[in-house]
Structure 1
Amino acid sequence: MTHNIGIVGAGNISARYMQGLQKYPELKVNYIADIDHARAATLASEFAVPRSGSADALLADDSIDIVINLTPPNLHARTVIQALEAGKSVYVEKPLATTREDGLLMLKAERENPGILGSAPDTFLGSAGQTARHAIDSGYIGTPIGASAFVRSSRAETWHPSPGFLFQQGGGPVMDMGPYYIAALVNCLGPIRRVSADARIGSETRIVTAPDRTVDEIPVTVNTHASAVFSFASGAIGTVLMSFDIWDTTLPRIEIYGTEGTLSLNDPNTFDGDVRLKRREHGEWQVLEPVTPLFGTVGTPEQHRRGLGVNDLAGALAGGPHRASSSFAFHVLDAMLAIDEAAAAKQTILLESRTERPAPLFNS
């Protein structure tokens, strides 16, 4: 079934969606909207999209059935709810929202309107996330006992011309990069029940050195170094470190530990890459064969393209499982918010949200 898509937000990531969606001929982008109409028109011209203009005009277009929302995170709730109330299905960039209250309002709007809501990150649907999931489900590491996840600095101040949003409310390593790591952990280990944490600001001012910078320094108003413990409903325990203050390290991105062995995962901000297994009896690490096709060429910009989650939403509209769903994304948001809350209160936070492990893409 062909779906006509409208994109709201023609910023930096929009081209990644346009490139990634080219893998799916049945997903046709027919409209690009942005508060800057000229920017929307430029993107539309670059990718031969027939129409561009305002978000209001996009939502009034009855031919558009899926909206991809690429607005800033603090606008997600308002723009997503408007699109749902206009009868559209929506796929929104991560994080789902910046507050728990906004996230709940979005879930309410989905329940009360005919469309469905999906959300990034979708990278856990790539071959690496699915291969790790297959290894766990097949018992390769025995019973999962624990996991570690490590977010190191993106060094945004060295390449982004205006990275202030990353160091203010709604930013920081937890809200910016955390969704990829937490989604990967929940895909592999299931939902989180309790969160304990501590966090701090590393430096109160960041010096911007990007060659095309529009500012020289930015104030920091959000925690940039956080350490958390996740207690999963399955009984597994996750140790998570998320920081914009660690520039160099030899630590792995994600490891999962079981009674019979260990899995080592690639950067969860990419779809594909080596998943390594070392069982007790193995002398060396074994690279597992991918259980699903690669989304793009490993080690190239193709790994930063987007669209797999939109295709997942289209499959759900046809009656298939919805993996990158609103309930999954809200649980990830709930866990992220609990990190700062646990750190501020110096106590463990019990999560009230519930979700299921997403259905796998491989044949069990």
Structure 2
Amino acid sequence: MVTASGSFGVGIIGAGNISDQYLQNLTTFPDLEVLAIGDLDEARAASQAEKYGVPNSGGVDAVLGDPEIDIVVNLTIPAVHVDVSLSILAAGKHVWSEKPIGVDRESSKKLLETAAALGLRVGIAPDTVLGPGVQTAKRAIEAGVIGRPLFAQTAFQWQGPEIFHPNPAFLYAVGGGPLLDMGPYYVSTLVHVFGPVASVVALGQTPHATRTVQVGELAGTEFPVEIPSTVSVLMQFEGGGQASSLYSTDSALRRAGFFEVSGTEGTLTIPDPNTFGGSISVIRPYGAVAEMVTGAGEMAVQQGIEIEQEGVLVGRGLGLLDMARAIRDGRPHVASGELGYHVLDTLLAIEESAASNRIVAVESTVPELGAIPADFDPLARTF
């Protein structure tokens, strides 16, 4: 429903840490109008509403019961993503959910089937892959800048979210961990580049049975680690490409956003898929072996050719905006529920492989993914 101000009505359920990142952007997109924030902690919802000039707040019903709200943003914890999303659909509203779509295949399938039966849409984060960084890199690859993509290497490693998050236990519970928390950014980007995942094989380890909160009121509190905190992955794609990935919260050395794609005619670096922009460069292969060695007999430093980003750089909420415009235009939105399910299916297959030491096929697939046009302007009024 387009509101009286000529924008698409939006509500938010969940006023926790990540709500700031969404509200900073959603309240600046002219095509969207945030009308209400709901949370079990109504005082927290009221505080966020006041901070960002949102007119209404309260419990969940303050959002689901508002007839002007057409899309609801689900920012709850992963364990209840499906339950909350189903309640949003039951209220007759489209869903945009933080990743992952759910924590198991059965309930996540039910969510998509329910939405289809009701004629409603489901969009799933991350939408970082819709930003100028990844989208410019995707267009370059599709234009043949590195020839035929062959394989990718990605890495995300650091000490873990307990060094900044005041209550990080849920990130080490079932549905969390570096794989389920950060994997959606990397796997979504890989699927944008190579297409659907066909199979995976992985190894996992859990060096510490408990972790300790480092900041905030709970500092010094121990909590259990329910999932592998380091996972090494090999992936095979339906189209023949391959990828190797590392996800770890057991590394003193921080390496985030490492993402390289090599093809028959060069290698391309993609920006951190947990951001909306960044440096993109292409490294060309040398023409002859002699050119690779300097006069001192050392390997020459390979210089990348920078590719200029195309598009307006914003932040979280971009995928929701694309979904709102797609609803109006009658076209598919890019960060679809089906993509979100395929990413979850892949991540669960990785968990199963790490637990069983065997190759696991990924049963789901997705059609060729759309793209965000270079002239997509989040700050323009198009309604």
Q: What is the TM-score with the length of structure 1 in the denominator?
A: 0.93
* Distance across 2 between alignment mates of 1:348 and 1:355: 20
* Distance across 1 between alignment mates of 2:313 and 2:46: 32
Q: 1:217 is matched by which residue type in structure 2?
A: E
Partner of 2:33: 28
Q: Report deviation, 1:123.
A: 0.6
* Distance across 2 between alignment mates of 1:16 and 1:363: 23
Q: 1:286 is matched by which residue type in structure 2?
A: I
CA contact (8 A) 1:59 1:83 kept: yes
Q: 1:52 is matched by which residue type in structure 2?
A: S
Partner of 2:317: 307
Q: 2:335 is matched by which residue type in structure 1?
A: A
Are 1:269 and 2:240 counterparts? no
Partner of 1:255: 260
Partner of 2:373: 362
- In structure 2, relative to structure 1, the CA distance for the partners of 1:248 and 1:88 (3 Å cut) is same
Correspondent of 1:98 among 103, 121, 127: 103
Q: Report deviation, 1:154.
A: 5.5
Correspondent of 2:339 among 310, 328, 331: 328
Q: 1:6 is matched by which residue type in structure 2?
A: G
**Cα distance per residue 1:327-360 (max 9 Å; x no partner):** 0111111111111101112211111111124212
* Distance across 2 between alignment mates of 1:154 and 1:184: 23
Structure 2 residue matching 1:331: 3-state secondary structure: helix
- Counterparts of 1:102-117 in structure 2, within 5 Å, are 102-117=107-122
Q: Report deviation, 1:214.
A: 4.5
Unaligned runs of 5+ in 2: 288-301, 376-383
Structure 1 residue matching 2:282: 3-state secondary structure: strand
Partner of 1:152: 157
Are 1:213 and 2:218 counterparts? yes
Structure 2 residue matching 1:61: 3-state secondary structure: coil
Paired positions, count: 355
Q: Report deviation, 1:56.
A: 2.4
* Distance across 2 between alignment mates of 1:314 and 1:111: 17
- Counterparts of 1:81-96 in structure 2, within 5 Å, are 81-96=86-101
Q: 1:287 is matched by which residue type in structure 2?
A: E
Q: Report deviation, 1:23.
A: 3.3
**Cα distance per residue 1:308-344 (max 9 Å; x no partner):** 0110110221123310000011111111111110111
Structure 2 residue matching 1:175: 3-state secondary structure: helix
Bigger shift: 117-126 or 347-356?
347-356
Structure 2 residue matching 1:196: 3-state secondary structure: strand
**Cα distance per residue 1:119-142 (max 9 Å; x no partner):** 100011001111110111011111
- In structure 2, relative to structure 1, the CA distance for the partners of 1:78 and 1:261 (3 Å cut) is same
Are 1:337 and 2:342 counterparts? no
* Distance across 2 between alignment mates of 1:4 and 1:166: 31
Correspondent of 1:132 among 137, 149, 152: 137
CA contact (8 A) 1:68 1:91 kept: yes
Are 1:122 and 2:127 counterparts? yes
CA contact (8 A) 1:87 1:114 kept: no
Q: Report deviation, 1:169.
A: 1.0
* Distance across 2 between alignment mates of 1:363 and 1:248: 35
Q: 1:285 is matched by which residue type in structure 2?
A: G
Bigger shift: 186-195 or 343-352?
343-352
* Distance across 1 between alignment mates of 2:256 and 2:86: 40
- Counterparts of 1:29-108 in structure 2, within 5 Å, are 29-108=34-113
Q: 2:264 is matched by which residue type in structure 1?
A: T
- Counterparts of 1:149-298 in structure 2, within 5 Å, are 149-153=154-158, 155-210=160-215, 212-248=217-253, 253-281=258-286, 283-295=302-314
Bigger shift: 47-56 or 268-277?
47-56
CA contact (8 A) 1:179 1:332 kept: yes
CA contact (8 A) 1:124 1:130 kept: yes
**Cα distance per residue 1:22-66 (max 9 Å; x no partner):** 331120000110011111111111111111112124212221111
- In structure 2, relative to structure 1, the CA distance for the partners of 1:250 and 1:122 (3 Å cut) is closer
Partner of 1:347: 358
CA contact (8 A) 1:160 1:213 kept: no
Are 1:316 and 2:321 counterparts? no
Unaligned runs of 5+ in 1: 296-304
* Distance across 1 between alignment mates of 2:61 and 2:212: 38
- Give runs of ≥4 in structure 1 deviating > 6 Å: none
Report the RMSD for the aligned CA atoms in angstroms. 1.8
* Distance across 1 between alignment mates of 2:212 and 2:57: 37
* Distance across 2 between alignment mates of 1:249 and 1:76: 29
- In structure 2, relative to structure 1, the CA distance for the partners of 1:35 and 1:153 (3 Å cut) is same
- In structure 2, relative to structure 1, the CA distance for the partners of 1:109 and 1:214 (3 Å cut) is farther
Partner of 1:13: 18
CA contact (8 A) 1:202 1:224 kept: yes
Q: Report deviation, 1:280.
A: 1.6
